[in-house]
């Protein structure tokens, strides 16, 4: 029989040989800088889109784990962030809407959210910008009404978001140059605006300023700092320089525009609410599609620069060697794909988003196996070993921390939810099922350029069966509704 001492020696040996130290539980091993970027597709230079200017994110990827097959739980801001922050799948939480945070208890014996785990473990925690759903972490309506209670109860020591000329959180969210914003009563809702000269004249510049100050303030503390940038979320607003860099640039159209066999196609309501700088038309001409794509990528260029400023400060303060950096897009965005402009669908382009994790001492790796947003929570617990890991509900995610060694994450499938659909991604296909079983299944082979291709469900029943068989092994089968959908589809 092994003595406990021998086991300790053996595990210590394996730690040394693997080179990926797992310190004893309770080590509070690393700081966490969690960067959320709103509506960021994985159209980044480091993910193969060579027309995109994302040098700072690329630099992070060069020294980190890049997950090229990361999918969110729900392709909308609030529900996706709720899943990330609670570690709960919508299959168990039933939360698929933007109001999910209102269901959190004001008091709980155990942590309900990721930052709360770290706070209970002795970390200093702060939320800056849009980390949960609101842009300052406080519960207010768009019109400013509400009591401003913390959107995540007991999670944050500080909520230092500054409002600048925009005066409130939702003002930052929908901000234009000069303190104008979509919800200020002026009726201003331009689709795009590129007049600011300086980064600091726009909300994300202000968010980066505050993040830099917070890093300086807590450089001698163990911290979990969430920084949520707003662009490239609508409206498309960045500096004049960002637009100048893209306005004449040769970029491609969305690779797949056909949508006649896509049962979840929608009319891009959010996008068409804004006032475009051309006569209204739908579908858009190629010229106007390109204008919108350039505007989106100008915003990516702008937000990438703000991310770079924060990462540079981390280096300058000497904190990079003890800080895990996570960069996460809260969902993808159809940028003309399937003739859609927006999120809110079960399709690949709305659900796949960038996830990059830099862990001090880890080699960089590109990981192509499926990963879900809910996997971030247990991964950070495994990597950081915070003192108090008790959570109010069991986590649904699977840690990908070991993928740094293996080059593979632990899942065969990533599952996303939208309205009544279940959307499932394996290493190369996406299957979409209707929980009401009224719409036929859709199956897409994901192309080399990352797009969906054509619906090939009718000619590939064996591939559908193979994905469904894998779904039978999932924990979500404990949920009656989920199991009924999978079993009924298997019987077809």
- Least distance from C-beta 386 to Ca ion, angstroms? 27
131 touching Ca ion, by CB under 5 A: no
- Stretch touching Ca ion by CB under 5 A, among 38-46, 238-246, 259-267, 370-378: 38-46
Asked if 204 is part of the footprint of Ca ion (rule: CB under 5 A), the reply reads: no
- Using the rule CB under 5 A, which residue among 39, 199, 242, 372 binds Ca ion? 39
Nearer to Ca ion, 66 or 132 (CB): 132
Looking at the Cβ atoms of 192 and 401, the one nearer to Ca ion is 192
Tokens, residue 8 = 């300790």
Of the pair 81, 124, the CB lying nearest Ca ion is at: 81
CA distances from 326 to 245, 356, 431 (A): 27, 6, 28
Under 8 Å CB-to-CB from 216, ≥6 apart: which residues? Answer: 313, 317
Which part of the chain contacts Ca ion (CB under 5 A), choosing from 41-49, 278-286, 325-333, 457-465? 325-333
Shortest reach from residue 488's CB to Ca ion, in Å? 32
Nearest distance in Å: CB 38, Ca ion: 4
Asked if 38 touches Ca ion (CB under 5 A), the answer is: yes
CA dist list (Å): 460 to 12, 39, 304, 429: 49, 32, 40, 11
CB of 341 to Ca ion, least distance (A): 14
Closest CB to Ca ion belongs to which residue?
77
Number of residues binding to Ca ion, judged by CB under 5 A: 4
Q: What angle do CA 428, 453, 259 make, to 5 degrees?
A: 135
* Residue 368, CA distances (Å) to 84, 147, 430 in order: 20, 44, 15
Q: Least Å distance between CB 77 and Ca ion?
A: 3
**Cβ nearer to Ca ion, comparing 28 with 98:** 98
Q: How far is the CB of 66 from Ca ion (least distance, A)?
A: 20
| In the complex, minimum distance from the CB of residue 250 to Ca ion, in angstroms, rounded to a whole number | 28
Q: Which is nearer to Ca ion, 350 or 371 (CB)?
A: 350
Nearer to Ca ion, 66 or 351 (CB): 351
Tell me the window of 6-14, 21-29, 35-43, 320-328 that interacts with Ca ion (CB under 5 A): 35-43
Q: In the range 41-100, which residues lie near Ca ion by CB under 5 A? A: 77
Site for Ca ion, residues 164 to 203, rule: CB under 5 A:
none
For Ca ion, which residue of 330, 349, 372, 442 counts as binding (CB under 5 A)?
330
Range in contact with Ca ion (rule: CB under 5 A) among 139-147, 161-169, 326-334, 355-363: 326-334
Q: Which is nearer to Ca ion, 295 or 443 (CB)?
A: 295
Q: Is the dihedral of CA 128, 133, 135, 139 positive or negative?
A: negative
Which of 150/330 has CB closer to Ca ion? Answer: 330
Is the Cβ of residue 126 or residue 350 nearer to Ca ion in the bound state? 350
Give residues in contact with Ca ion (CB under 5 A). 38-39, 77, 330
């Amino acid at each position: 029989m092994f003595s406990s001492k021998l086991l300790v020696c053996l595990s210590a040996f394996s730690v040394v040989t693997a080179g990926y130290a797992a310190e004893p539980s309770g080590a509070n091993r690393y700081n966490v800088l969690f960067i959320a970027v709103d509506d960021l597709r994985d159209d980044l230079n480091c993910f193969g889109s060579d027309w995109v200017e994302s040098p700072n994110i690329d630099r992070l990827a060069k020294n980190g784990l890049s997950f090229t097959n990361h999918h969110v739980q729900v392709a909308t801001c609030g529900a996706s962030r709720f899943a990330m922050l609670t570690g709960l799948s919508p299959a168990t939480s039933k939360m698929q809407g933007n109001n999910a945070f209102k269901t959190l208890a004001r008091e709980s014996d155990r942590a309900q959210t990721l930052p709360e785990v770290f706070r209970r473990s002795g970390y200093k925690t702060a939320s800056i910008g849009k980390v949960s759903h609101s842009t300052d972490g406080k519960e207010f309506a768009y019109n400013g009404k509400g009591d401003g209670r913390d959107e995540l109860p007991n999670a944050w020591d500080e909520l230092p978001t500054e409002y600048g000329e925009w005066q409130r959180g939702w003002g930052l969210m929908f901000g234009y140059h000069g303190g104008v914003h979509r919800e200020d009563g002026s009726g201003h809702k331009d689709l795009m605006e590129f007049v600011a000269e300086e980064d600091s004249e726009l909300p994300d510049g202000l968010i980066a300023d505050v993040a830099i100050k917070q890093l300086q303030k807590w450089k001698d503390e163990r911290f979990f700092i969430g920084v949520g940038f707003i662009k490239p979320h609508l409206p498309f607003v960045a500096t004049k320089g960002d637009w100048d860099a893209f306005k004449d640039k040769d970029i491609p159209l969305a690779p797949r525009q056909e949508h006649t066999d896509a049962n979840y196609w929608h009319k891009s309501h959010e996008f068409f609410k804004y006032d475009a700088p051309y006569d209204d038309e739908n579908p858009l001409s190629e010229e106007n599609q390109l204008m919108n794509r350039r505007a989106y990528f100008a915003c990516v260029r702008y937000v990438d620069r703000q991310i770079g400023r924060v990462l540079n400060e981390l280096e300058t303060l000497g904190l990079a060697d003890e800080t895990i950096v996570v960069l996460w897009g809260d969902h993808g965005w159809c940028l003309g794909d399937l003739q859609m402009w927006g999120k809110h669908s079960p399709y690949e382009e709305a659900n796949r988003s960038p996830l990059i994790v830099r862990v001090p001492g880890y080699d960089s790796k590109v990981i192509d196996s499926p990963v879900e947003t809910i996997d971030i929570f247990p991964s950070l617990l495994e990597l950081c070993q915070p003192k108090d890991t008790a959570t109010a509900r069991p986590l649904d995610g699977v840690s990908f921390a070991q993928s740094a060694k293996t080059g593979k994450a632990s899942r065969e499938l990533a599952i996303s939810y939208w309205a009544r659909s279940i959307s499932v991604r394996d290493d190369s296909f996406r299957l979409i099922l209707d929980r009401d079983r009224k719409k036929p299944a859709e199956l897409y082979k994901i192309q080399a350029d990352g797009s969906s291709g054509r619906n090939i469900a009718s000619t590939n029943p064996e591939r559908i069966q193979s994905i469904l068989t894998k779904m039978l092994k999932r924990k979500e089968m404990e949920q009656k509704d989920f199991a009924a959908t999978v079993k009924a589809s298997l019987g077809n």
